[in-house]
Amino acid sequence: MSEESLLKVNHVDVFYGSLQVLWDVSLTVRAGEIVALIGSNSSGKSTLLRTISGFLRPSNGNIEFKGKRIEAMNPYQIVALGISQVPEGRRIFPDMTVSDNLVIGSYNHGARSKREGNLKDVYMRFPILGLRRNQLAKTLSGGEQQMLAIGRGLMGEPKIMLLDEMSLGLAPLIVDELYRTLREIRERGITILFVEQNARRSLKEADRAYIIKSGRIVLSGRAAELREEDEIQKAYFGV
């Protein structure tokens, strides 16, 4: 695992209109890591991912990717740099085929020339998508739709993937399969930042984690060490 900082969020404040939702948030993701952002509903997790992806603009602070400031860029420019987000709720195109949903993920300049190879890789990683490539996306199960959303993210040739509540509403066996896929993606050299409410599972899967509460980062560190923190034990494990 590299010590190089791939993504840095530096003292970011974010507002929805006049309502402040992130307060002085800072985090770092190093190349090759799996990093978890853990918090309850409305803690600011999704807002932070949307800010990194360019859908929201910070009022203070900055965001760097590979040493380049990106907080003023548009989402399509950020995708082209190598940041791919898999949003909460999948956000697939239900009335398009599985294949067309995947191809849409490859329209940035750097990914277009590698489209066919990446498509084969996604079908190898998720064989059920290959079998159902000509079906409408809305006919897939919830777990299959989540696989499709991850596959679409991989089609963009990402250097880092941002995953928002990947396991929400899915059966435990499907969740196990998706986390196995994340580990395989990391082995391919793609860095992972994922948002999750399930602290126990997050701290099992991640190298490091940040705990966000009411829009503020309140704890951070190596996942194994955070599992032993009294505050984590009480808040998330019922100890």
Give the pLDDT confidence of 92-118 residue by residue, as tens digits.
999 999 999 999 888 877 778 888 888
Q: Buried b vs exposed e over 115-133: b needs ≥16 C-beta within 10 Å? A: beebbeebbebbeebeebb
pLDDT of 7 > 80? The answer is yes
Domain span including residue 19? 1-82+162-168+193-239
Domain count, the chain: 1
Residue 237 domain-assigned (yes or no): yes
Q: In what order do the strands lie in the sheet with 208-213?
A: 83-86, 160-164, 191-196, 34-38, 208-213, 216-222
Q: Is the pLDDT of residue 132 over 70?
A: yes
For residue 10, tell me if it sits in a domain. Answer: yes
Q: What pLDDT is recorded for position 231?
A: 66
Q: Which residue has the higher pLDDT, 21 or 232?
A: 21
Going by pLDDT thresholds of 50, 70 and 90, the confidence category of residue 239 is very low
Instruction: Answer whether residue 21 is part of any domain.
Output: yes
CA neighbor of 79 nearest in space, from 4, 149, 145, 153: 153
The answer to whether residue 108 sits within a structural domain is: no
Q: What is the pTM of this model?
A: 0.89
pLDDT in tens, 43-96: 999 999 999 999 999 999 999 999 999 999 999 999 999 999 998 877 899 999
Averaged pLDDT of the chain: 90
pLDDT of residue 153 exceeding 60, the answer is yes
CATH number, position 37 = 3.40.50.300
**How far is it, in rounded angstroms, from Cα 137 to Cα 51?**
28
pLDDT at 233: 65
Q: Which residue has the higher pLDDT, 230 or 72?
A: 72
